[in-house]
Chain A
Amino acid sequence: MQPKIELLTEDLIDRILDEAFQLLMKPGIKVQYAEARELLGSAGCEVDEANEVVKIPESVAKKALETVPSQFILYDREGNPKITYGGDHVHFDPGSSGVSILDPETLEHKPAYTPDLVRIIKVAEMLPQYDAQSTAVVCNEVPKEIGDFYRLYLVLLHSNKPIVTGAFSNDTLQTMIDMLAIFAPSTSLRTGGSREALAEKPQAVFDVCPSPPLIWSKFGAGNLIELARAGVPSEMVSMPLAGAAAPVTLLGSVVQHAAECISGITIHQLARAGSPIVWGGAPAIFDMRKGSTPMGAIETAMIDASYAQVGKSLNIPTHCYLGATESKIVDAQAGMESGMSALVGALAGVNMISGAGMLDFLACHSPEKLTIDAEAIGMAKRMLEGVQVRTETLATAMFEGINFKGDFLKQRITRELFSKEQYLPSDIIDRDSIRGWQASGRMDTFARAKIRTKKLLDEYQRPQMDPAKEKALVSMMEGLAKEAGMNTLPALE
């Protein structure tokens, strides 16, 4: 039995959806993209062109909700199924699109460059707790217009895991889809993969963000349509900020989240019914002292768990942003917020939980934190496995021959089952005696994480890759970089 938390009653879910449908009619949704308004208009929505506002009747929205696949699978570069979006499957990936990196020695937040992203990718590749990669940090030395696919290029070059990514403009999205298509398992060697092959076995999901409250921008709506047509999974990242860009109540924000997601799904499914899309988000409460948006707040996690429950009630795959912290360094607050919120997300059965490795409102990334968060994720995943019956009798058979002695360590069954019953943490988690701890250098968690991160980087080996595909990837990237005025690509290390 997978343990589960549910914060909403069925009645409450009904009320949330009912009010979300009301919002779709009054005030309606602002859709800042003509093609999306056309799609909605021809499906029977009332369109106010002057104000770019569309009123979506419940009947139109419900029809769209019915065609959303309840499940889809992400594949690795070799075409092996790796991640199931749907049901109560739980996966984790590092947070994405940070702009700075924590210097583990000086603790400064420095602008992130290529070698920083490469380090994050390598660490995430080495840690089995991460099911997917993300395009984790912006590389500041690379021109903005090529940044999106440059990040994807680095991930493709260094990893075999599925990818959670996103595009910051409509044009770059097309390039990114073509880039991924290079690695799509193909029937024809000559074409080296195709968009059709990619749609059949997608390796990446693309984040697409509505703008709170109730707005689909030109770029957001455009990406929804393009992704739907390409058959590449979209992941809506709705971000109600409770008390600022959304109602102050957690439930009010959950209603807004539902309205943004349902309107997004309507646009998406009208572009191509049956294309995969995820009920996701990165909401936060609004801190009333600092005017900030804490990702590590427990109420943020409560909004996530609630909207995930709403998404599940509609049979739609889910995503959320948890496992991150506002702390600026990897300290007790970082551990507490990241670990607690990761566990809430896992217990809520969210299909993809993004956010690990991140500090400072998702602005800063840290490979060292990524290794620590992996332990919290390992523990959360152990929790999800639940308490299992692994032996015929629960205990009595194991008492045979024990004769009041603490000799269970000598039993064959102990050797057989201990690593199933227990999550075996890395040495980031200190379980040594005080003297053992003293003898090994009196290190705190962060110091141990620095050592482990270095070890993981030393042990990392680039996954085997078809040389033809690699060549195609590199020459595509070089061509794009030249167009943007960058004659050579930055060094990787």
Chain B
Amino acid sequence: MSQELFKEMAQSILDGDDEVSAELAQKALDGGIDPLAAITDGFMPGVNEVGDNFACGDAFLPELVMAGEAMKAAIAVLEPAMMASGVSRQVLGKVVLATVEGDIHEIGKTLVGTMLTSSGFKVYDMGVDVPTADLIAKAEEVGADIIGLSALLTTTMIKQKEVIDEVAKRGLKVMVMVGGAPVTKEWVQRIEADGYSEDAIGAVSVAKELMGL
């Protein structure tokens, strides 16, 4: 019974159908299936498959994003149940994510958030044009492992450095990964960021690496 359900769960992710994935999550709860198993053995294989297909060019951004949305919908159903029973989902890490101050470019950052979430990270997406002070405050509040910073403009890229300097000044134990069109390896070295990725799929691997996974 649960094997069959797990297959349907993976398929709902492949189909990018957030209504079906939420229904299936509810069905699992009603049937007494361990919510954690539903995530790990049901929905996760779907996310992995879409990710692999995307990486080799057989799937496209809309499919990737819809898969992420379907995963989010499933987690939204399953997470309260886990909390209630005292079992918390084992998250791979907590990530505070934002596009830096002065920059309103959103698509790449949101994509990274979706991918991180569906891969098992807990993501706090603060949106765009986020001042450094707010970012630091949020990271401290939630006990973030990673701060993810996006910038699309060469003029706002400098804010990535500002955040890193602030983290160092305060001696916070949080790693910073950066991304965005103008970001180069040289820039990453110069500002001493902990990680950087070219795209959303790569960001997941970088975040996992930072977490020592």
Check if A475 is an interface residue, CB within 8 A of chain B. Answer: no
What A residues does B184 contact at CB under 8 A? 435
In contact, A418 and B60 (Cβ under 8 angstroms) = yes
What A residues does B62 contact at CB under 8 A? 409, 414-415, 418
What B residues does A436 contact at CB under 8 A? 198-199
B residues 55-101 near A (Cβ < 8 Å) are: 57, 60-63, 65-66, 69
Query: Could you tell me the distance between the alpha carbons of A200 and B94 in the complex, rounded to whole angstroms?
Result: 70
| A410-B69, A415-B16 known; A424-B60 Cβ under 8 A | yes
**A435 to chain B: closest residue by CB:** B198
In contact, B106 and A410 (Cβ under 8 angstroms) = no
What A residues does B1 contact at CB under 8 A? none
Say which residue of B66, B110, B185 sits within 8 Å of A415 (CB atoms). B66
In contact, A410 and B66 (Cβ under 8 angstroms) = yes
**A415 to chain B: closest residue by CB:** B62
Query: Which DSSP category, helix, strand, loop or mixed, fits chain B's interface?
Result: helix
Query: Could you tell me the distance between the alpha carbons of A405 and B110 in the complex, rounded to whole angstroms?
Result: 11
For B, the interface residue count at a CB cutoff of 8 angstroms equals 18
Query: Could you tell me the distance between the alpha carbons of A324 and B15 in the complex, rounded to whole angstroms?
Result: 42
| A406-B107, A414-B62, A419-B60 known; A433-B198 Cβ under 8 A | yes
A residues 429-477 near B (Cβ < 8 Å) are: 433, 435-436, 439
What B residues does A406 contact at CB under 8 A? 106-107
Check if A145 is an interface residue, CB within 8 A of chain B. Answer: no
In contact, A433 and B181 (Cβ under 8 angstroms) = yes
In contact, A409 and B65 (Cβ under 8 angstroms) = yes
B residues 82-138 near A (Cβ < 8 Å) are: 106-107, 110-111
A-facing mask of B140-171, CB < 8 A → 1, else 0?
A: 00000000000000000000000000000000
Query: Could you tell me the distance between the alpha carbons of A248 and B198 in the complex, rounded to whole angstroms?
Result: 55
In angstroms, how far is the closest chain B Cβ from the Cβ of A412? 7
B-facing mask of A391-415, CB < 8 A → 1, else 0?
A: 0000000000000011101101011
In contact, A410 and B60 (Cβ under 8 angstroms) = no
In angstroms, how far is the closest chain B Cβ from the Cβ of A375? 14
**A426 to chain B: closest residue by CB:** B57
What B residues does A410 contact at CB under 8 A? 65-66, 69
In contact, B61 and A409 (Cβ under 8 angstroms) = yes
Check if A171 is an interface residue, CB within 8 A of chain B. Answer: no
In contact, A439 and B198 (Cβ under 8 angstroms) = yes
Residue from B111, B185, B198 having most chain A Cβ neighbours under 10 A: B198
Query: Could you tell me the distance between the alpha carbons of A409 and B114 in the complex, rounded to whole angstroms?
Result: 12
| A406-B107, A435-B184 known; A412-B198 Cβ under 8 A | no
Query: Could you tell me the distance between the alpha carbons of A470 and B111 in the complex, rounded to whole angstroms?
Result: 53
**B68 to chain A: closest residue by CB:** A410
A residues 119-139 near B (Cβ < 8 Å) are: none
Check if A427 is an interface residue, CB within 8 A of chain B. Answer: yes
In angstroms, how far is the closest chain B Cβ from the Cβ of A442? 15
Query: Could you tell me the distance between the alpha carbons of A433 and B111 in the complex, rounded to whole angstroms?
Result: 16
In angstroms, how far is the closest chain B Cβ from the Cβ of A459? 13
B residues 19-77 near A (Cβ < 8 Å) are: 57, 60-63, 65-66, 69
Query: Could you tell me the distance between the alpha carbons of A282 and B28 in the complex, rounded to whole angstroms?
Result: 67
Say which residue of B66, B181, B185, B199 sits within 8 Å of A412 (CB atoms). B66
**B61 to chain A: closest residue by CB:** A409
What B residues does A424 contact at CB under 8 A? 60
Query: Could you tell me the distance between the alpha carbons of A38 and B116 in the complex, rounded to whole angstroms?
Result: 81
**B64 to chain A: closest residue by CB:** A409
Query: Could you tell me the distance between the alpha carbons of A341 and B181 in the complex, rounded to whole angstroms?
Result: 35
In angstroms, how far is the closest chain B Cβ from the Cβ of A464? 25
In contact, B65 and A405 (Cβ under 8 angstroms) = no
In contact, B57 and A427 (Cβ under 8 angstroms) = yes
What A residues does B16 contact at CB under 8 A? 412, 415
In angstroms, how far is the closest chain B Cβ from the Cβ of A430? 12
B-facing mask of A416-429, CB < 8 A → 1, else 0?
A: 00110000100100
Query: Could you tell me the distance between the alpha carbons of A418 and B16 in the complex, rounded to whole angstroms?
Result: 14
List 10 A-B pairs, minimum CB-CB distance, nearest first: A415-B62, A414-B62, A409-B65, A415-B66, A406-B107, A418-B62, A406-B106, A436-B198, A410-B65, A435-B198
Taking A410-B65, A415-B62 as given, write out 19 further A-B residue pairs in contact, using a Cβ cutoff of 8 Å, ordered by the A residue number. A406-B106, A409-B61, A409-B62, A409-B107, A410-B66, A410-B69, A412-B16, A414-B62, A415-B16, A415-B66, A418-B60, A418-B62, A424-B60, A427-B57, A433-B181, A433-B198, A435-B184, A435-B185, A435-B198
Binding site for B on A (CB under 8 A): 405-407, 409-410, 412, 414-415, 418-419, 424, 427, 433, 435-436, 439
| 13 A–B contacts, CB within 8 A, in A order | A405-B106, A406-B107, A409-B62, A409-B65, A409-B111, A410-B66, A410-B69, A415-B16, A415-B63, A418-B60, A424-B60, A427-B57, A436-B198
